[in-house]
A and B are shown apart, each in its own frame.
Chain A
Amino acid sequence: MTLARLQRDFHDHIVRGSPAVEAAVPEAARRGLAVYRHAYRANLIACLKDTFEKTAAWLGDEAFEAAALEHIAEQPPTSWTLSDFGDGFDRTLAGLYPADPEVAELAWLDLRLRRAFDGPDATISDVAALADVDWELAVLDLAPTLSLASITSNVVALWTAMDDQETPPPVVLLESPLGVAVWREALSPRFRTLRAAEYGSLRRAREGASFGELCADLATGFPGEDEAAAAFAGGLLAGWLSEGIVIGVKA
């Protein structure tokens, strides 16, 4: 048997329990196969528990491990880095818990915070250099770790309570969706909710709209009140700059 054949059979045994590899293992040594079958799943479950700490706490060990096994079966790892294995776990959970959107939303928040933790560093523009910017045409440079999503539950309150080791509040489904932003400021991952106008503006900025276009969009919420609209847009921009959500303008 070639090495490639043996390794394929071994892999198939670990992942699916296929028996072909047993012919290549002396009978007295076959108990060792169970060690590898167990270690494969145990390592991946431990990886998911580490990345999705709050989600695991919310679901409890039994339900979380069942979901993790589903994810392992549906999406066996392919990347060199174990870190990538968490990608898509929020979608796995959305499929398993269609009536409980807070579960997938917790997972999204856990994952994006982990990605922000070791994502690309931001090169923040000198504030003085922004003085001469033509803001009408300027395209905002967003933190490279910024993630945006729409949420339908009080997931931020749930996550925060668990992080503070307090009893989470009851799940509340929102009357209308909110946005949530996750990013890293210096070395610290951050997140906060966004009202619809701010969420829409950041999404447009990420698509490459100029600040002038963002202002025009926002003005529709202030009919006949141009100064109020400009002040609102300016306030958003000042907040984004101070929080590190916007790191400058694109050249």
Chain B
Amino acid sequence: MTDLAMTCPPFTGFGLGMRPPHYGAFIAGEAPVDFVEIISENFMVEGGRPLWVIDQVRERYPVAMHGVSMSIGSADGLNPAYLKRLKALADRVRPLWVSDHLCWTGIGGFNTHDLLPMPYTEESLDLVCRHIAEAQDRLERPLLLENASTYLTFAGDSIRECDFLAAMCARTGCHLLLDVNNIHVSATNHGFDARDYLEAIPIDRVRQIHLAGHTTGRSGLLIDTHDQPTPDPVWRLYEAACRRFGPVATMIERDDNIPPLAELLEELDRARVIACTVERRAA
């Protein structure tokens, strides 16, 4: 692979996750956003309307591809058939970048279709880095990895999640999709300082930021439900992220209880104002 193929030029702007209720606005190019993010698996199909939709949308907006099924941390290894399908979609869409989560989804040939937590150990780091290298080779593109929300820690954890991400970037050249809501959720659930977390993340590796809402579960844990507007603590953490990382492509990620597009655009405007205010103060 050439070095050129592995570069991931920064792209800044404000976007939305594209969800079915709003497909029409994106197909028509009517949504005032700088980019859209698609769930890769929803378009890794053989034909029909999904591929027609993405062909229309990519003519009107830069597209980021975000996956949920790579299972980069599974001891089973990566699924070559999955990566082949993902590459075919990426070759068709020519996205800004391809991302997935730092997690595992299954083992022993089974797939839970959930983003399961990694133990943060040297063994995990070695395995994840091998898999990132393999994925980047097969996709012929750099990969962005997102920090997932987690609801437990492991007794054997020996590395902080933020240091794990930093080491992963240093070893593989991958980039990060920093989910600010997920940092807040995990920080609250596990009692670490979210701002310390940001300070450990390498500035030049962050290519995208997710903003979203969460709920409090019966156990008292915060759950990354993506069914609420971004709450104030996440906005405050986003402001801190803007101060540290400067302009980064930022989007609202809503997966459930999806409101009218206008409401999401208002939420996105709040992100624009925060990012612009931080940028002006820094100038």
Binding site for B on A (CB under 8 A): 1-4, 6-8, 10-11, 14-15, 23-26, 29-36, 39-40, 43-44, 47, 76-83, 85, 116-121, 145, 184, 187
Contact = CB atoms under 8 A, between A and B. Distances in A.
A187 B190 CA distance: 47
Given A33-B152, A77-B106, A120-B47, 6 more contacts: A6-B154, A26-B153, A31-B219, A34-B219, A77-B110, A118-B49
Interface stretch (B88-96, B111-119, B226-234): B111-119
Contacts of A43: 113-114
Contacts of A80: 41, 69, 79, 81-82, 111
A237 to B, nearest CB: 25
Contacts of A10: 107, 116
B26 to A, nearest CB: 16
A26 to B, nearest CB: 5
B192 interface: no
B194 interface: no
B75 A184 contact: no
A236 B109 CA distance: 45
A118 to B, nearest CB: 4
Query: Would you call the interface of chain A mostly helix, strand, loop, or mixed?
Result: helix
A29 B153 contact: yes
B156 interface: yes
Contact of B124 (A3, A26, A30, A117): A3
B197 interface: no
Q: Interface size bucket, B side?
A: 35 or more
Contacts of A24: 119, 154-156
B46 A118 contact: yes
B113 A82 contact: yes
B117 to A, nearest CB: 8
Contacts of A29: 152-154, 190
A118 B45 CA distance: 6
Contact of B221 (A6, A23, A31, A184): A31
A123 to B, nearest CB: 10
A118 B44 CA distance: 9
Nearest to A84: B111
Nearest to A23: B155
A117 B49 contact: yes
A117 B51 CA distance: 11
A72 B46 CA distance: 26
Given A35-B219, A120-B47, A82 B104 contact: no
A118 B190 CA distance: 41
Contacts of B221: 31-32, 35
B107 A32 contact: no
A7 B75 contact: yes
Contacts of A26: 153-155
A3 B123 contact: yes
Contacts of A36: 114, 116, 151-152
User: For A33, A47, A79, which residue has the most chain B Cβ atoms within 10 angstroms?
Assistant: A79
Contacts of B155: 23-26
B112 A11 contact: yes
Contact of B110 (A2, A76, A120): A76
Interface string B251-276: 00000000000000000000000000
B114 A32 contact: no
A130 B79 CA distance: 43
Nearest to B115: A39
23 contacts: A1-B156, A3-B124, A4-B75, A7-B74, A11-B106, A11-B107, A14-B116, A24-B156, A25-B154, A25-B155, A32-B221, A36-B151, A40-B114, A47-B113, A77-B106, A80-B69, A80-B79, A82-B113, A83-B41, A83-B45, A117-B48, A118-B49, A121-B48
A118 B43 CA distance: 9
A83 B44 CA distance: 10
Contacts of A120: 46-47
Contacts of B114: 14, 36, 39-40, 43
Contacts of B104: 7
The 8 closest A-B pairs by CB, nearest first: A32-B152, A32-B151, A121-B47, A4-B75, A118-B45, A35-B151, A29-B152, A7-B107
